[in-house]
Amino acid sequence: MPRFDPAQALRAPLRGMTPYTPVEPPAEMAARYGVAPEAVVKLDANENPYGPAPKVLEALAGGIDAHRYPDPDQRRVREALAARHGVPAECIVAGAGSDELIDLLFRTYVEQGDRIVICSPTFGMYAFDAGLLGAEVVDVPLRDDWTLDAEPLIEAARGAKAVFIPTPNNPTGGLLPIDLASRLLDTGALLVVDEAYIEFSHGESLVSRAADGEPLVVLRTFSKWAGLAGLRVGYGVMPRAMASTLMQVKQPYGVNVAAEVAVIASLEDCALLDERACVITGERDRMAAALRATGWLEPAPSEANFILVRMAASDATTVREALRRRGVFVRTFDHPRLRQHLRISAGTPQDTDRVIAALTEVGRELGVQQ
């Protein structure tokens, strides 16, 4: 009897698959570049620089039942989210970040050979999860100005299983027009709208339409607006029947007890979190103006808590490495259209000052700035 060979036993779609590239922990990055951890300016993951709301810290400090399993039916979390959005709790499913909801949607509805539609450059988890299942990824690239190409997108959606669109888009920061969303809902495909950054935008949420029964799932997260990236909690709003199915097929304990406490406390501190979102978007706009003033950096319009920046000279990797040596961490991408682009998260005013000063120094080193 031959021994089990894990390489030979691997499912066909996973052979030769390109892994998703996440950001690394700041302590690891600081050690690699010889930077003191306290001197790091971390602007590579679109995290909230102000952290959780005070009520969250108070609630967690009060103790949690870490020795007990969380509620598999997510009752308190779903009821609190239902009250926030004015939709039935039965239309909501929570998970360990919106990443889990994306994975759950794929595992529930997408089979090998199905077509899913994306608009690159976009969030990498959609194509990653499609690859896990052997689905076909149909890419309708964004136009040169990073807006959606409506007619080809509508055509691609016809006959596809699902269309995945973030609004605002990551990493470009643009919005899905409401009229285009309506047209996509008529194509026969499931429309998954990822609103991870909606709280930083002027965009209109589609949450109520998802709960009304249209072929639509709206994803949200507590990682950005609420500053809970480390606790991993997100949710989806969708038609009642879809939510019922996902609640049956999900892992039973996706939202841990600390995350549940943090969600409830965050929703009790919404006003403060909304104020912080306004502060962050103001800092985003200040950073965009300062970047543009360098003369060699051009920020794209953004409705999120980050900016995609095109460099008139040099490639992104060279600039990224020069910034890292100065303790400033920003994001680059392997996508061919982004090789001269950086994505920079909006941070505190001090973070903005550091990144602009560092980029000014780098520009002088490269001979592209006086």
**Residue 314 binned pLDDT confidence (cut-offs 50, 70, 90):** confident
List the helix and strand counts (H, then E) for the chain. 14, 12
CATH architecture type of domain 54-269: 3-Layer(aba) Sandwich (3.40)
- Give the pLDDT confidence score for residue 335 in this predicted structure: 93
Residue 173 has pLDDT above 80, yes or no: yes
Can you tell me the mean pLDDT for 335-340?
Answer: 95
E strands, the chain, are 41-42, 92-95, 115-118, 136-139, 162-166, 190-194, 216-221, 234-237, 297-299, 306-311, 328-329, 341-345
| Joined tokens for residue 288 | 């965009």
Residue 244 has pLDDT above 80, yes or no: yes
pTM, two decimal places:
0.95
Residue 313 has pLDDT above 90, yes or no: no
pLDDT (tens digit, 9 = 90+) per residue, 16-60?
A: 888 888 888 888 988 898 999 989 999 999 999 999 999 999 999
- Give the pLDDT confidence score for residue 214 in this predicted structure: 96
Give whole-number Cα distances, 222 to 96, 161, 294, in Å. 10, 27, 34
- Give the pLDDT confidence score for residue 2 in this predicted structure: 85
Question: How many of the other CB atoms lie within 10 Å of CB of 321?
Answer: 12
- Residue 305's nearest CA partner among 270, 332, 325, 277 is 277
Give whole-number Cα distances, 303 to 119, 272, 285, 352, in Å. 17, 20, 10, 17
Can you tell me the mean pLDDT for 170-187?
Answer: 98
- Give the pLDDT confidence score for residue 368 in this predicted structure: 85
pLDDT (tens digit, 9 = 90+) per residue, 95-146?
A: 999 999 999 999 999 999 999 999 999 999 999 999 999 999 999 999 999 9
Which residues, 6 or more positions from 212, have their beta carbon under 8 angstroms from its beta carbon? 239
| Joined tokens for residue 160 | 């596809």
- Residue 91's nearest CA partner among 249, 255, 237 is 237
pLDDT (tens digit, 9 = 90+) per residue, 63-98?
A: 899 999 999 999 999 999 999 999 999 999 999 999
The alpha carbon torsion through 324, 327, 328, 329 (nearest 10 deg) reads 60
The alpha carbon torsion through 25, 30, 33, 35 (nearest 10 deg) reads 170
Cis? peptide before 121, omega within 30° of 0: yes
Can you tell me the mean pLDDT for 343-364?
Answer: 97
- Give the pLDDT confidence score for residue 82 in this predicted structure: 98
Domain regions of the chain by residue span: 6-50+272-366, 54-269
**Residue 360 binned pLDDT confidence (cut-offs 50, 70, 90):** very high
Kindly report the average pLDDT of the chain as a whole number: 95
- Give the pLDDT confidence score for residue 16 in this predicted structure: 84
Find tokens 């609630």 and name the residue: 59
Give domain 6-50+272-366's CATH superfamily.
Answer: Aspartate Aminotransferase, domain 1 (3.90.1150.10)
Q: How far apart, in whole angstroms, are the C-alpha atoms of residue 73 and residue 68? A: 14
Cis? peptide before 70, omega within 30° of 0: no
pLDDT (tens digit, 9 = 90+) per residue, 225-235?
A: 999 999 999 99
- Give the pLDDT confidence score for residue 231 in this predicted structure: 97
Residue 369 has pLDDT above 80, yes or no: no
